[in-house]
Structure 1
Amino acid sequence: MTPTKPQVYTGTGSAIDNYNKPKQHLKNIVQGNSNNWGLFDKNNKQHLTVLAHLRTLQWTVKNDRWGEVADINRLSDFLKSDKSPVKKPLKKMEPQELSKIITCLESMITKKYK
């Protein structure tokens, strides 16, 4: 068990209410932000394959908790661009459309490391 250090609450109102209130950016992630097409489902194997390919392509960003993670903002920009074979949010794609994205990413990996 890791020891925790107490923190002094400096906000307004109840500290417990503030602790239990979800942060706005987390709320957007859970409810789905229509601007970010790179949001994924962690239980979908094809989505996880896309994330693995992003890491292979080195499309990553630093994260305080997890170290280095796939850059879903860059993926979102790619899906919205003319270079994407399917112009749809990742969560709204059918399995066949996801296969096209995976094939495209595999092609990018081949070209990068050849």
Structure 2
Amino acid sequence: MIPTKPQVYSGTGSAVDNYNRPKQQLQNILQGSNENWGLFDKKNSKHMAILSQLRTLQWTVKNDRYGEVADIHRLSEFLKSDKSPVKKPLKDMDEKELSKIISCFESMVTKKYK
């Protein structure tokens, strides 16, 4: 068990509403998931391979909790662009389309570090 210290709430409005605000922000992100094509399934090994390649390409952003994470928004913009071999959200792609994206990123990694 992690020991915690009581904190005095000094914000405006309800402390409970302030506590629940991150959950509301998460719901807003998920409801707007049609716009973010980079959302992935962590149980899918091909999705995880793409995230690994994003980190290799240094397509990362700072995160308060996890340090540095893959830039999902940049991936989303790439998938929507003319440079993408498959113009579809990541979660809607089948195995063959995911393989095309993976090979595209492998090519980008090769060109960057050649």
Which residue in the other structure is 1:104 paired with?
104
Which residue in the other structure is 2:5 paired with?
5
**What residue identity is the alignment partner of 2:41?**
D
**CA distance in 2: counterparts of 1:67 and 1:2, whole angstroms:** 21
Which residue in the other structure is 1:49 paired with?
49
C-alpha offsets along residues 33-86 of structure 1, whole Å, 9 cap, x if unaligned?
A: 211110111111110000000000000000000000000010001000000000
Q: CA RMSD in A?
A: 1.9
Question: Matched residue of 2:61: which SS?
Answer: strand
Question: Matched residue of 2:69: which SS?
Answer: strand
Alignment check: 8 A CA contact 1:32 1:39 kept: no
Does residue 26 of the first structure (1) align with residue 26 of the second (2)? Answer: yes
**CA distance in 2: counterparts of 1:106 and 1:37, whole angstroms:** 20
Question: Matched residue of 1:23: which SS?
Answer: helix
Q: Percent identity?
A: 73
More deviation in 21-30 or 40-49? 21-30
Unaligned 5+ segments in structure 2 are none
Unaligned 5+ segments in structure 1 are none
**What residue identity is the alignment partner of 2:13?**
T
**What residue identity is the alignment partner of 1:70?**
A
Q: What TM-score do the two structures reach when normalised by structure 1?
A: 0.87
**CA distance in 1: counterparts of 2:65 and 2:98, whole angstroms:** 28
**What residue identity is the alignment partner of 1:59?**
W
